[in-house]
Structure 1
Amino acid sequence: MHTIELAAALLTIDMQQGIQRLPTPRNNPQAERHIAQLQQHWRARGWPLVHIRHISVDADSVFAPGQSGAAFQPELAPQASEAVFEKNVTDAFCHSALERWLHVRGIAKVVIVGVASENSVEATARTASNLGFATVVVTDACYTFGKTDFAGVLRSADDVHNMAMANLRDEYAQLHCTAELLSGD
């Protein structure tokens, strides 16, 4: 059983409408449901929620500003009282005020969910840890897509996700599933 302290912020990364348009097979088809459960859990306890939105500098991106892909998925959208930070690189801490926002509120722990496991989730988790935040990644509340590796071998979304989690495990983050966090109070 894992207990989340009052000072833990839930960081929801890049859960925007554009990510739903990507045709590549993905893993964790229940990730959005788990993210919604975690958001509800945090809101019921008055714990801090932070939403990260990717705003691309590439006009052809599904995350380009001013088009529907940049908008949050309605079921995972922030409430008016919740913090929103925008990024245009993979790392939610880079070129944003996220670190300062957390420090000002005395938040020493972050719980990360969202997309993509080996991209923005992994980059943000590594930086959070390197900045001294206790870091948790919820393995079944993030997902990714199949990808061709450096050697030209197509890797499944599960393979890519599992390697990202292996990269983070213990050195950068604790890994937990949604059920563990929801039962940990």
Structure 2
Amino acid sequence: MSHHPPSRAALIVVDVQRAFDEWEAAGKRRNNPEAVARIVDLLSAFRSHEAPIFHIRHEGSRPNSAFLPGGTGYPVKDEARELAGEPVIVKRVNSAFIGTDLERQLRAADIKTLVICGATTNHCVETTTRMAGNLGFDARLVRDATWTFDRIGPDGDAHSAEDIHAMTLANLDGEFARIVTTAGVIAAFKPA
């Protein structure tokens, strides 16, 4: 982030909602157990430098969605709750740019760099990151501040959360985003 002052960089916190805790409690296995703690670190750094933060919430539309408004999985996790003045963007698809005014708000604030974190790496985080890159933003995906879950592929093959996470980062790196760490993002706020 060194070539953009913090006022031109924004933190995008994607879907840090309680539904993922419920998935874990039901036996789904995830990677990166420290991701939420790293998100808290990022929130703290951006807040202490008065840099913009945008909170993204997924609102499910299918009757069995864990993200239905009013349901137990919809609320944000307490650690990542927004503060007064921090916008909350509600999306109904994987990308935070589709059906929302996120791009308009970013352009109006002359924000060039997006630091993206949240859940899940290979769904809403990936889709939002791909679109950010395609829209011309300098996207930075924070590898240790996102996570995903084990999945079964279309041929019945089991894929670990670690492998899915790593492949998603590899797919995005260079073309759509730079892959960074929480420590690296925080260090960029410090004067040279």
Range into which the TM-score falls when normalised by the shorter chain: over 0.9
1:97 aligns with 2:98: no
Computed over aligned residues only, the root mean square deviation of the Cα atoms, in angstroms, reads 1.1
SS of 1:70 mapped into structure 2: coil
Q: Which residue type is aligned with residue 182 of structure 1?
A: I
Give, in whole Å, the separation in 1 of the partners of 2:155 and 2:181. 31
SS of 1:51 mapped into structure 2: strand
Task: Calculate percent identity across the aligned residue pairs.
Answer: 36
Shift of 1:164: 0.7
Give, in whole Å, the separation in 2 of the partners of 1:150 and 1:182. 39
Give, in whole Å, the separation in 1 of the partners of 2:42 and 2:14. 13
5+ unaligned residues in a row in structure 2: which ranges?
A: none
Could you tell me which of 149, 155, 163 is aligned with 1:159?
A: 163
SS of 1:68 mapped into structure 2: coil
Q: Kindly provide the CA deviation profile for residues 21-78 of structure 1, in whole angstroms up to 9, marking residues without a partner as x.
A: 1131100000000000000000000000000000000122110011221111111010
Matched ranges for 1:142-153 at <5 A: 142-153=146-157
Q: Which residue type is aligned with residue 17 of structure 2?
A: Q
Give, in whole Å, the separation in 1 of the partners of 2:36 and 2:184. 17
Q: Which residue of 1 aligns with 2:19?
A: 18
Could you tell me which of 166, 173, 187 is aligned with 1:169?
A: 173
Shift of 1:167: 0.9
Give, in whole Å, the separation in 1 of the partners of 2:53 and 2:39. 11
Q: Which residue of 2 aligns with 1:111?
A: 115
1:5 aligns with 2:5: yes
SS of 2:88 mapped into structure 1: strand
SS of 1:183 mapped into structure 2: helix
What TM-score does the superposition give when structure 1 sets the normalisation length? 0.96
1:63 aligns with 2:64: no
